[in-house]
Structure 1
Amino acid sequence: MHTPRHRPSHARPWPALAAATALALALSACGGTADGGGSSADGGPGTPGGTYTVALTEPNHLTPGQTTDSYAIQVIQGLFDTPVTLDPKDGHVLPLAAASVESTDQKVWTVKLRPDGVFHNGEKVTAQSFADAWNAAAYGPNGWESNYYFAQIQGYADLNPDEGRQPGADKLSGLEVVDDTTLKVTLSSPFSQFPMMLAFTAFAPLPKAAFTDPKAFDAHPIGNGPFQMDGDWVHDQKIALKKSPSYAGGRKPMADGVTFKIFTSKDTAFTELQAGNVDIMTTVPAARAPEAKRAFGDRYSVRPSGTMDYLGLPLWDPRFKDPDLRRALSMAIDRPGVTQAIYNGVFKPADSIVAPMIPGHRDGACGEACAYDPARAKALFDEAGGFSGPLELYFSNSDPTYEQWMTAVANQLKQNLGIQDVTFKKMASADLGPVLNKRQGTGPYRQNWVIDYPSMQNYLDGLYNPDNRMGWSNPQFDALVARGNAAEDGKDGLAAYQQAEDLALREMPLIPLWNWQDQSAWSDKVGHVLIDPYVTGLHLDQVTVRH
């Protein structure tokens, strides 16, 4: 389940790769010194050594392939190096565990690994370490959250047969371990975005210990990244990391360690930040924006974001089958009013499925379906036959604003459409994800999406894939996304993605609500706080500590 991550304000488009052009990534240090955050209060960046703390919501897992939760990803990216990462300035691909990623046809890719990679237990990182991790995530019966990220690889269908059938294999036929440092990946069709996808934490390698005792590994993962676990994960309290002495990659940490303090409420976390009991908070509640700006000054930042909120609809419930009724629900929601009243105008009303910072975004793509029009909404609602029975709204308890905006939406649906019996289903984020993933919800739900890489494809495939939470399917949509994936020319790819978006907006199984603007704040104890919008989020290795 995706939850918020952050982006800098200076992201620019990532060009689609030409089919006949190899992508060669030179081996170099990554992470850089881009100023996505700030420095310590006295203007100095801090010095090497020391430890710091970060506020966090309880993750659901710490094994890379088992989670798509960004609270988990924030920790995992410090513990593991994926093949590549994305530059925090503009999102282009940089090498990490890989020395190069090359293809001449966008279908067959060769991943050459750095020869010096080791796990924190001394085990060598090899091509087999990656193949084992990817196969485990792709194997349907394992039930790992990141499963669909491997759908582009040849043989995925054999590992994920239709319901009631047994898998025909337990390993992806498209993965070939050529030697210790070479992994050959054959996709089912050309896919220009594949190198960017390799930055996602699900593509990290796993050591043998991950498979001998998976439960123990999830509590104390053994990675190949700049930090290693400092004791077991203490659920609902903390996750402590320390600098790894064996790390030879390009993200050598400035600090000796970092402790994630786990909070159930972002308001409580913000109070602890103000009191000096937490050093960094990457997701300051929007309602606390004026207070944060006054209290932290140049140690508070607001940046445009790729994060979006939606209202997902359970289409297996016949009450939601009519697209006109779904559009009526959308037009009955006052997006400008909600974002102003609850988010102090920091968040922006959505006019598209994708965020404005994404290449291919079009202002007003959603048209009148995302415009507040109570009269038209009621007319459409009545024409579609109305709505009977209770309306249950699902959301997590990790941020008080979720209940605030759900309350506002509930009141608007009551007032504008006459739906009177509206109740809430509020639960912990780690509990809500499985309910929605298994399509066990009985009503609309808060759906959040955080970009994994700057591409329309990430939203379209991630939100509307065949296993989507809405239970929506459309062969024409799937064909358009596939056409975009295989396009040799960037413009042709974007055109196909935009046509797919238009179709999804016409059918409206998922109602776009608003685009986040990311807010973070930090104490005067730390410097060089770099936060980006992609998989990395807070660059744990870059943070310096005053001491």
Structure 2
Amino acid sequence: MKRKKHVVLFIALMLVFSSFLAACGKKESGGGQEEEKPTELVFGRGGDSTSLDPAETTEGEAFKVTENIYEKLINFKEQSTELEPGLATDWEVSDDGLTYTFQLRQGVKFHDGTDFNAEAVVFNFNRWIEGNQGKSGDEIPFPYFQSQFGDNIESVTATGEYEVQFKLKRPQAVFLKNLAMSPFAIASPAAIQKYGDKFNENPVGTGPYKFVEWKRNDRIVLEKFDDYWDSGYPKIDRIIFRCIPDNSARLNALKTGEVDLIDGVNYTDVKQIESDSNLQLIPRPSLNVAYVGLTVTRGPLKNQKVRQALNHAVDKEAIIQSFYEGYAEPAKNPMPPVVAGYNDEIQDYEFDLEKAKQLLAEAGYPNGFEIKLWAMPVPRPYMPDGRKVAEAIKSNWEKIGVKTEIVSMEWGTYLEKLAAGEADAFMLGWTGDNGDADNFLYVLLDKDNVGTNNYTYYSNDELHEILIQAQTESDENKRNELYKKAQEIIKEDAPWIPLVHSEPLLAARKDLVNFKPHPTGSDRLHMVEFSK
């Protein structure tokens, strides 16, 4: 009997000791015990990535992931487009603006264990330069490289193990800002050679997270890179990017704890989020434009007056009130007002159906015509619901005799067909990559970029000369005047219907901290964590 009492006492003591150990492994709040601090972040988003090789794509869902796998020579600062060191710790520019010399960060490893050095930088740039040579239009494998650099890089040379030198054919005012853009991240040469055409499914960079898994249209899984050069980061062990196409379903997943962070918040859901003590609303600094592209090589859209008429037949204020709840402003130019060189003197095409009918008659279409309007299949920061906005536009176009059929398709196919010029009118948008006017006007509307980012196939020689001159001009005031002139030309030619500049919204669980959404839409998540 005495022995049994000893056993019971021993078990009781062990239970007490176990409880003590368990308590030590938990965080406390308000005197109570909670579960252990989460080490996994689930990011709910509206669409899947098209590629995990950032150099071969132009869409934000790809960069949302790759920004955490790879790194660039230069970074943008937190929530701005000012520059700071990345894989390059310092750089010098020659007096003539043609030579850039970079000192590289030492002791950096790619996820496959190979070394980052000057030869790796040379390999990546030569891959982009040589890959684009002899290609045009939608055949260009690295479209962003074409848009931002064209053929202006004469050479890239390793001048030391950790020093690399770029020589340009002509000065380029935005060269450094371009290098900080997501597409120009440095990938492992060994991995590119190993995986070949499948590298876009097997990404290897130097970033805080390494690639683990990609289940198409479901999830992409990244895990902490233990040998990351920046000590103490990342804070979260694992990130899962979940595809939940419907905005409301995505919010419900956040409310039930299925995900921790979401983008593409419906503006109609703002009050619901703000009234929930377990959630927080997070605005992204605005640097975007949503637009309807009018492919100038197709049918009636070849006529400038037809394009102007369609501009007059879009009620932007009604769209903002119906779908943005006031979290947007009407767009009259292809770039937002926060960008230097914005032309505020331009008068927008007012909503005027009678004026639109008059222009159609002058263009030879008094009874209108038929057109297909492509609606975006995924929510984007600048376009919360492409289908509904398309229906609003269709309603007004049909009042001027333009019979409109709304079509859509899978996101990757949508972009491929746009690049091939297969759409009549289409809905799209752009979140600026570097905060410069060049990244909107030249990239999206210059003839050099037809079939890459210029989906309207718009070409104007006068505009081209102005934009190239602006690229080489070092005087900011002169650059701004050139961009203002460029916007006047674009407004008159009307290859676009600029719709809105939106304030994108995200939401997260209340205890998520240090998430600072970037105006470019490409978020680095290495500092994000959950509060204690």
Instruction: Give the TM-score normalised by the residue count of structure 1.
Output: 0.83
Counterpart mapping for 1:202-217 below 5 A? 202-207=183-188, 208-217=190-199
Q: Is the 8 A contact 1:96 1:249 kept in 2?
A: no
Task: Give the Cα separation in 1 of the matches to 2:125 and 2:222.
Answer: 25
1:149 equivalent in structure 2: 145
SS at match of 1:472: coil
- After alignment, is 397-406 or 70-79 more displaced? 397-406
Task: Give the Cα separation in 2 of the matches to 1:67 and 1:155.
Answer: 19
1:7 equivalent in structure 2: none
TM-superposed CA distance for 1:337, in Å, is: 0.7
Task: Give the Cα separation in 2 of the matches to 1:154 and 1:145.
Answer: 13
Q: Is the 8 A contact 2:328 2:502 kept in 1?
A: yes
CA gap of 1:336–1:535, structure 2 versus 1, over 3 A, is closer
2:525 equivalent in structure 1: 540
Q: Is the 8 A contact 1:300 1:522 kept in 2?
A: yes
TM-superposed CA distance for 1:152, in Å, is: 5.9
Counterpart check, 1:425 vs 2:411? no
Counterpart mapping for 1:366-381 below 5 A? 367-369=347-349, 371-381=350-360
Task: Give the Cα separation in 2 of the matches to 1:511 and 1:201.
Answer: 27
CA gap of 1:364–1:492, structure 2 versus 1, over 3 A, is closer
Q: Percent of aligned pairs with the same residue?
A: 20
Q: Is the 8 A contact 1:327 1:377 kept in 2?
A: yes
Higher Cα Rg, which structure: 2
Task: Give the Cα separation in 2 of the matches to 1:379 and 1:309.
Answer: 26
Counterpart mapping for 1:117-516 below 5 A? 117-138=108-129, 139-140=131-132, 143=139, 146-150=142-146, 153=149, 155=151, 173-207=154-188, 208-229=190-211, 231-249=212-230, 252-295=233-276, 299-363=280-344, 365=346, 367-369=347-349, 371-386=350-365, 389-399=369-379, 401-415=385-399, 417-419=400-402, 421-441=403-423, 443-465=424-446, 466=448, 467=450, 468-516=454-502
TM-superposed CA distance for 1:297, in Å, is: 8.1
* Structure 1 unaligned residues grouped into runs of 5+: 1-40, 157-171
TM-superposed CA distance for 1:198, in Å, is: 0.7
TM-superposed CA distance for 1:388, in Å, is: 5.5
Q: Is the 8 A contact 1:219 1:232 kept in 2?
A: no
SS at match of 1:78: coil
1:529 equivalent in structure 2: 515
Task: Give the Cα separation in 2 of the matches to 1:330 and 1:485.
Answer: 29
Q: Is the 8 A contact 1:48 1:544 kept in 2?
A: no
Higher relative contact order (CA 8 A, sep 6+): 1
Task: Give the Cα separation in 1 of the matches to 2:75 and 2:411.
Answer: 27
- After alignment, is 76-85 or 392-401 more displaced? 392-401
CA gap of 1:287–1:459, structure 2 versus 1, over 3 A, is same
Task: Give the Cα separation in 1 of the matches to 2:455 and 2:324.
Answer: 26
Task: Give the Cα separation in 1 of the matches to 2:241 and 2:291.
Answer: 28
1:59 equivalent in structure 2: 49
* Structure 2 unaligned residues grouped into runs of 5+: 1-28
One-letter amino acid of the counterpart of residue 394, structure 2? A
Task: Give the Cα separation in 2 of the matches to 1:395 and 1:303.
Answer: 24
* Aligned residues: CA RMSD: 2.4
One-letter amino acid of the counterpart of residue 53, structure 1? V
Task: Give the Cα separation in 1 of the matches to 2:269 and 2:38.
Answer: 32
Task: Give the Cα separation in 2 of the matches to 1:499 and 1:390.
Answer: 33
CA gap of 1:72–1:251, structure 2 versus 1, over 3 A, is farther
Task: Give the Cα separation in 2 of the matches to 1:493 and 1:344.
Answer: 35
